[in-house]
Homo-oligomer: A and B are copies of this chain.
Amino acid sequence: MSATIEPAEPVTGRVIAAATRRAVVPADERRSAPRAGDWQIAAWRSFLRAHAHVMRRLEQDLQANHKVSLATYDVLVQLVEAPEHRLRMSELADAVLLSRSGLTRLVDRMQREGLVERQPDPYDARGLFTVLTAAGLAALKDAAVVHLAGVDELVLSRLTEGELRGMYELMSKIDPLVPEAQLPPDACGIE
């Protein structure tokens, strides 16, 4: 679409700077955040910035090349990875971290575009499956090339193998619910 770099998400200084903090938080309350010193906050801010930076670019790349949003892309990925290319609405909602209603509407749109279909669950008439269509798979194939290239360019290629491992370690400490599996101990075969 447009080549302009337009902000997509407000993130910058969502954290109060330590300077601000000293000015604003009474000294006796500072114990509540004992580690939030100047440069710790700088580290945290760098995290927010990096995230915003990368996500903005990825979203743009996808939209520009395939008119697919990241949310849509995420759904396509979840479906293609699922057995029989289908998932219950609720499961899908959990997988892409969307509310039920949010997912309903997203699937509505995707169905309109022919990327997915809804299938009743024969064993439980309350439930519905969202199933990937041929068009959906094709769209994913298209988008994946662009998207992966983006992730590679913006993130992976900028870090060494060891740094990537380091990042994984750090993130695991921040998010206790570590993703699916542990990082394979020595799956270093870069391709």
Which A residues form the contact surface with B (CB < 8 A)? 6-17, 19-21, 23-26, 29-30, 32-47, 49-54, 58, 70-71, 73-74, 77-78, 80-81, 93, 95-99, 102, 137, 140-141, 144-145, 147-149, 151-152, 154-159, 163-168, 170-175, 177-179, 181, 183-184, 187-191
Besides A49-B175, A49-B179, A54-B175, 10 other CB < 8 A contacts?
A13-B78, A14-B74, A16-B73, A17-B81, A21-B148, A23-B80, A32-B148, A33-B156, A43-B164, A166-B166
Partner of A190, one of B35, B97, B147, B183: B35
Q: Is the CB of B171 within 8 A of A49?
A: yes
Q: Is the CB of B170 within 8 A of A159?
A: yes
In the complex, the chain B residue whose C-beta lies closest to that of A185 is B39
- Neighbouring B residues of A33 by C-beta, 8 Å: 145, 148-149, 151-152, 156
Of the listed residues A21, A47, A49, the one surrounded by the most CB atoms of chain B closer than 10 A to its CB is A47
In the complex, the chain B residue whose C-beta lies closest to that of A97 is B7
In the complex, the chain B residue whose C-beta lies closest to that of A26 is B141
CB-CB under 8 A for A14 and B49, given A20-B81, A32-B149, A168-B42: no
